[in-house]
Amino acid sequence: MSVRSLHNRDGFTLIEVVVATAILASAAAALAQLLATASVQSARNRHALTATIAAQSKLQQLRAVRWTTTVDGLTASPLRSLLEDTAGCVDYPEPYVRRWSISRRDPLDPDTFVLQVCVFRTTGRQAVPDACVGTVRARRP
């Protein structure tokens, strides 16, 4: 066997094949993890968007209540109406629980209310809402 034939190899050694396979397997595992994370985040974003739309919808309903010299339909809510199901301040659009609160901005100002709506998922009944929106409503003179 000559010296020239030792340097002229036409294929890969077993070590080179194992190293290349390990690199490819690591890249495939990283890509699979990235796809799984993206899928979970997409589902969370979809829930957050749906909850925000449900909250904004109820807020618009509350803003649309007729308000004349007496408050027709806007009455102050109990203090814990955003934290627990309170009659008159909760509804259940599946798969959510929607709670709202109507409070005076200032006890001495009868013409300004703070409206808040929070939406929670019905599954799990977590204490953290999926979405909360709020606004201030004032009566025009």
Residue pair 117/91 in contact by the 8 Å Cβ criterion: no
**Pair of tokens at residue 33:** 């993890």
- What integer pLDDT is reported at residue 23 of this predicted model? 96
Looking at the structure of the chain, the number of domains it has is: 1
Residue 111 lies in a domain: yes
Residue 108 lies in a domain: yes
Distance CA 23, CA 25 (A): 5
Residue 82 lies in a domain: yes
Report mean pLDDT in 10-residue bins for the chain, 141 residues: 57 88 96 96 93 94 74 72 87 90 84 90 76 87 58
Residue 52 lies in a domain: yes
Distance CA 121, CA 33 (A): 27
- What integer pLDDT is reported at residue 59 of this predicted model? 93
Distance CA 85, CA 132 (A): 15
Dihedrals φ, ψ of 81, to 5°? Answer: -65, -25
Residue 7 lies in a domain: no
Q: Which domain holds residue 40?
A: 12-138
**From start to end of 71-125, where are the E strands?**
90-91, 96-104, 112-121
Residue 1 lies in a domain: no
Residue 26 lies in a domain: yes
- What integer pLDDT is reported at residue 27 of this predicted model? 96
Residue 2 lies in a domain: no
